[in-house]
Amino acid sequence: MLSLSLSLFLFLAGCEIDHGLAPPSPEPPEELGSISGTITYVGSWPDSVEDVRVAVYAQYPPPNFFAISGFSDSLPIGVPVADYSVKVKPGVYEWVIVVLLKKGSWWGPESLLGAYYAPSDTTRPGVVTVDPGAAVTGIDIIADFSRLGVLPPEVEGILKKKWGRVHIFLTPGM
């Protein structure tokens, strides 16, 4: 009887014990990367500026203006140049833009102030690939106040198709 008990104990000790319904082991968080560069402002700053930021989109044209993958902290206002950095998940980003919020308004398509263009083709937004933990630098943007709210035709077309107009998010209460 002792040898049977000892054999059973050794057998069970050698088996993996199932702990039942336990949550799966957590996977380590994905290591963020970043996109950074310098914004050069062209023209005079309007008096009505409340905030300026950089927004990053995974898709161009985006399915809507608010499909943002990441955005910067507020940037300095009234300066000729400003450095920025945006933390993002690893991936490919097709549109990096500068947006300006006027006092008393909302963020929306009319906020577009500038975009990153690849040096090899200044007619199309530049694509930025971010690897885990990587800092992608040199994503410089020209922000021209005379073109505030001027959307690329592809983006304007998406907004018109989806909502029948471009400037749907202009003012509070719309």
Residue 128 forms part of a structural domain: yes
Both structure tokens of 11: 């057998």
Mean pLDDT in residue range 118-136: 93
pLDDT at 114: 95
* Residue 14: per-residue pLDDT: 56
Q: 114: how many CB neighbours lie within 10 A of its CB?
A: 22
Looking at the domain assignment, is residue 107 inside a domain? yes
Host domain of residue 115: 33-163
* Long-range residue pairs from 163-167, CB within 8 A, at least 24 positions apart, any chain: 166/109, 167/108, 167/109, 167/110
Is 3 a member of any domain?
Answer: no
pLDDT tens-digit map of 47-99: 999 999 999 999 998 887 788 999 999 999 999 999 999 999 999 999 999 99
Model confidence pTM above 0.85 = no
Asked if residue 171 is part of any domain, the answer here is no
Q: What is the mean pLDDT of the chain?
A: 84
CA neighbor of 55 nearest in space, from 72, 39, 34: 72
Does 105 reside within a domain? Answer: yes
Q: What is the mean pLDDT of residues 99-127?
A: 90
Q: What is the CATH number of the domain that holds 73?
A: 2.60.40
Residue 22: inside a domain, yes or no? Answer: no
Query: Would you say residue 78 lies in a domain?
Result: yes
Question: Quick check: 20 and 58 in contact, CB under 8 A?
Answer: no
Calculate what percentage of the chain has a pLDDT beyond 70. Answer: 78
The C-alpha atoms of residue 36 and residue 103 are separated, in whole angstroms, by 26
pLDDT at position 151: 84
Q: What is the pLDDT of residue 174?
A: 30
Our separate counts of H helices and E strands in the chain read: 2, 12
pLDDT value at 171 more than 50 = no
pLDDT of residue 4 exceeding 70, the answer is: no
Q: Is residue 86 part of a domain?
A: yes
Number of domains in the chain: 1
- Provide the residue type at 16 as one letter: E
